[in-house]
Amino acid sequence: MNAIELKHPLIQHKVALLRDKKTGTKEFRELAEEIAMLLCYEAMKDAKLDEKEVETPIKRTKVNVLDEDRYVFVPILRAGLGMSNGVTKIMPNAKIGVIGLYRNEDTLQPVRYYYKVPKDIKKREVILVDPMLATGGSAVDAIKMIKEDGVEKIKFLCLIAAPEGIKKVEEMFPDVQIYCAKIDETLNEAGYIVPGLGDAGDRIFGIK
């Protein structure tokens, strides 16, 4: 599968806390942000660096720096907002876009309602964030929208992924690399990831 599952003990520990239904809203949000930071760290391992010269307290020297302006973080509403603070802590000067999608509970298909990204997004690398990659419908729809704007390099970060969702993204967009904290067993009849962690959006926003 074209998905990288981060098996670091710290991440697996935080995932365990996320799964627990006793974990409260505040802690759930903090854990989602922390895992998002770690996922972004891994996803940026192939980032290109530019050389520049700076003056230390001792002498002038050459250093390698990241051009944060090359990147756009795009959370998929609403649950993706729960990861956005984490990724922007890694690159605070990156641009931010927003895609609004919700799942039709009868058809399980994504419905678009909002799309706002930088005008010059095609010049940048896009990092999509959404806590759950379940059926893959929302991810595929979001990727399709971004590719229609001319973006060539896209990465997708999620907390939990189901094999069905990974397969759908791979079949449609084999060039999109997926980074996740955990690949779970399957989907249930309602389209939820098993064992999963419930509805990530509801838990992030304290709706239930």
Residue 6 DSSP symbol: P
Give residue-wise pLDDT tens across range 133-188.
999 989 999 999 999 999 999 999 999 999 999 999 999 999 999 999 999 999 99
Give catalytic status of residue 199 as yes or no.
yes
Query: Torsions phi, psi of 143, nearest 5?
Result: -60, -40
As a whole-number percent, the residues of the chain with pLDDT over 90 amount to 84
116: β partners: 98
Q: Please check the confidence at residue 1 and state whether its pLDDT lies above 70.
A: no
Cα of first residue to Cα of last residue in the chain, in angstroms, is 33
Q: Please check the confidence at residue 208 and state whether its pLDDT lies above 70.
A: no
Give residue-wise pLDDT tens across range 157-172.
999 999 999 999 999 9
Structural domain boundaries, residue 50: 3-205
Set 19, 23, 70, 202: catalytic member: 202
Q: At what angle do helices 81-90 and 25-43 cross, to 10 degrees?
A: 50
Q: How many domains does the chain have?
A: 1
Give catalytic status of residue 175 as yes or no.
no
Residue 78 — pLDDT band, cuts 50, 70, 90?
Answer: confident
Give catalytic status of residue 103 as yes or no.
yes
Set 67, 107, 175, 186: catalytic member: 107
Give catalytic status of residue 46 as yes or no.
no
